[in-house]
Amino acid sequence: MTKLAFLGLGVMGYPMAGHLQAAGHDVCVYNRTTTKAEAWVKEHGGRMAPSPREAAGGAEFVMACVGNDDDLRGVCLGPDGAFGGMKDGAIFVDHTTVSAKVTEELYAKAQEAGLNFVDAPISGGQAGAENGQLSIMCGGDQTAYDAAEPVMNTYAKLCRRIGDTGAGQMTKMCNQIAIAGVVQGLSEALHFAEKAGLDGRAVVEVISQGAAGSWQMANRYETMLDDAFDHGFAVDWMRKDLGICLSTANETGASLPVTALVDQFYKDVQSMGGGRWDTSSLFKRLRKLAG
């Protein structure tokens, strides 16, 4: 049994922490909203703590899955931060999608405190978290990754170290860039089929078996056609991630014209009141534009 802490019990963190407890680990959770932590303990067992520092006390691994750069700094640093409660040599594993800049900052602070830090953003959505089938892309020191990998495999179908600190976050940016273009392309294909008087389901049945096939097509086309957009990653969070991608592209000199365009399309979805709709709601935007 390994003593673990898990910080952040959102739609991803809640089931991920549950997998760790079910695997026989001793898990202590922290969540900003205490009622969510109470519900988790009632459902899964384990323990809860009133602060990240107390949750991390004595833990060999501290996993985090929070909202953004500021949220991550908040659970790591300060008098109530996890870094202050972690024992020498313990490993902090960050599953949040954040900027590589904050990752490098926290890695340096962890090193100063005698701790290890692995950036390990995730992909696979809520279903992937619930089913323990996430893809995890990691950056950090090899020895820290090697120690943390067996723990992460509890909820992963694939876990890989891509490179040094920040490489995991950079890879997650590649993931979001690829998704943005695919979802827009799928939305346009379904919209075109609809306007052409075709049966969208029949169209997808055929084209999904060829070069056009994708995870988004297989898992989202039916809900898109049914005008149901509460099945995954929210537009608000996607815009946060794409903002990180575009900002980093400016720093590195990368050209992301399609990503920048799709980001503006998601801004339109937000103005429609769809900030909490899932990312496939780009299709709803096209339906609205067409009237």
CA distance 214 to 39: 36
Euclidean distance between CA atoms 229 and 46, whole angstroms: 33
Residue 36 exposure: Cα atoms within 13 Å on the Cβ side? 17
Q: Please give the structure tokens belonging to residue 67.
A: 């909202």
Residue 186, pLDDT > 80, answer yes
210-219: per-residue pLDDT in tens? Answer: 999 999 999 9
Q: 87, 157, 172, 240: which one is catalytic? A: 172
Reported as a single tens digit per residue, the pLDDT across 89-138 is: 999 999 999 999 999 999 999 999 999 999 999 999 899 999 999 999 99
**What domains can you pick out in the chain, each with its CATH number?**
3-164 (3.40.50.720), 170-290 (1.10.1040.10)
**Six-digit token string for 241:** 């991630």
To the query of whether residue 3 is one of the catalytic residues in this protein, the response is no
